[in-house]
Structure 1
Amino acid sequence: MKMSLSAVHSQKGISLVVSLLILVMVTLLALSVVNTSIFEERMAGNTRDRSLAFESAEYAMREAQSFLSAAVLPPFTTTGGSTGGYYRDLNTSPTGQTEEVYWRDNHNWTANSVAATKVSGVLSGQTQPRYVIEEYPAISCVGYSKKWPPPPPRNVYKITARGQGGLPNRW
Structure 2
Amino acid sequence: MSAHQATRLTAVQRGAALVTGLIFMVVLTLIVIAAMRSSILEEKMAGNARSQNVAFQAAEAGLRAGERALNSPVDPASGPGYFSAPVAAATTTEYWKDYPDWDTAADPGLLYPGVEGVRYVIERIAALPGASGNDDLEYSAENTNPRNGIYRITARAEAGGNAPIILQSVVRIVLE
Deviations 1:125-161 (A, max 9, x none): 53230000001221328379xxxxxx96840010000
Residue number among 151, 162, 175 corresponding to 1:157 in the alignment: 151
Structural RMSD (CA): 3.0
- What is the identity, as a one-letter code, of the residue corresponding to 1:26? L
Query: 1:1-171 counterparts in 2 under 5 A?
Result: 8-75=10-77, 83-93=79-89, 98-99=93-94, 102-111=95-104, 113-118=105-110, 122-140=111-129, 142=133, 154-165=148-159, 167-171=160-164
Matches of 1:18 and 1:24 in 2, distance apart? 10
Distance 1:98 1:156, change over 3 A: closer
Aligned length: 151
> Which whole-Å CA distance do the structure 2 matches of 1:31 and 1:19 have between them?
18
Q: Which amino acid aligns with 2:83?
A: Y
| Aligned-partner Cα distance in 1 for 2:89–2:22 | 64
SS in 2 for 1:130: strand
Local SS of the residue matching 1:133: strand
- Show structure 2 runs of 5+ residues with no match: 136-141, 165-176
3-state SS in 2 of match to 1:163: strand
% identity of equivalent residues:
32
Higher relative contact order (CA 8 A, sep 6+): 1
